[in-house]
Amino acid sequence: MIDPIPFAARVAHILSAVLLLGGLFYAWNLSKHNILPAQPDKGFRPAVWILILVQFITGVYNLMLRMPVPKEYHMLFGVKFLLVLHIAAVSILMVKPATTPEKRGRMLQGLAVSGILVIVISAALRAIGNA
Ligand code: HEM
């Protein structure tokens, strides 16, 4: 039988990761062709804040459910957390109205790389946590 609360938390964690990274990846592609809207902050800003918040709440809950974990898990989780902090901080700065289009392009490139690394690390955490 599926336990509904951990299931809902997992769905929310994966869904918000897909929506956040998907949105950033799309914006990065537009910025490479200089067709990113002049004010992406208008449409995307509330979503960025909400998705990051959901990531943190469901992520902490996921972590509590996983405990106790082996020491390699702690080490990898530390790396994931630093990358996630980078994603959260840069995404928030990226959707600030004052950020220039050139700067947005550079930020989006870094976000795409960090996003891929976070997905790889999350998959590794799942493998280690289940071992
Ligand atoms: C950009 C932000 C983030 C992304 C893209 C992301 C992505 C993911 C993905 C794809 C998974 C695998 C889901 C699954 O198979 O159940 C996962 C699992 C997990 N995430 Fe995140 N996450 C993010 C932020 C966070 C944060 C902020 C925390 C904690 C504070 C966190 C803690 C966890 C934990 C504990 C797991 C379970 C790993 C395991 O199976 O042992 N995540 N995350």
Q: 56 alpha carbon to ligand 1 midpoint, in Å? A: 9
The pLDDT averaged over each successive group of 10 residues in the chain (131 residues) is: 95 98 95 87 88 98 94 96 97 92 94 97 92 57
How far is it, in rounded angstroms, from Cα 92 to Cα 115? Answer: 15
99 phi, psi to nearest 5 deg: -70, 135
d(CA 111, CA 95): 13
* Ligand 1 first shell, C-beta below 6 A: 10, 13-14, 17, 20-21, 55-56, 59-60, 62-63, 66, 84, 87, 118-119, 122, 125-126, 129
The domain locations on the chain are 4-130
pTM of the shown model: 0.92
Residue of the CA atom closest to atom 16 of ligand 1? 10
CATH-assigned architecture of domain 4-130? Up-down Bundle (1.20)
The reported pLDDT for the residue numbered 40 is: 72
> DSSP assignment of 43-96, as one string?
HHHHHHHHHHHHHHHHHHHHHHHH-S--HHHHHHHHHHHHHHHHHHHHHHHHTS
pLDDT value at residue 131 = 57
CA of 102 to the centre of ligand 1 (A): 30
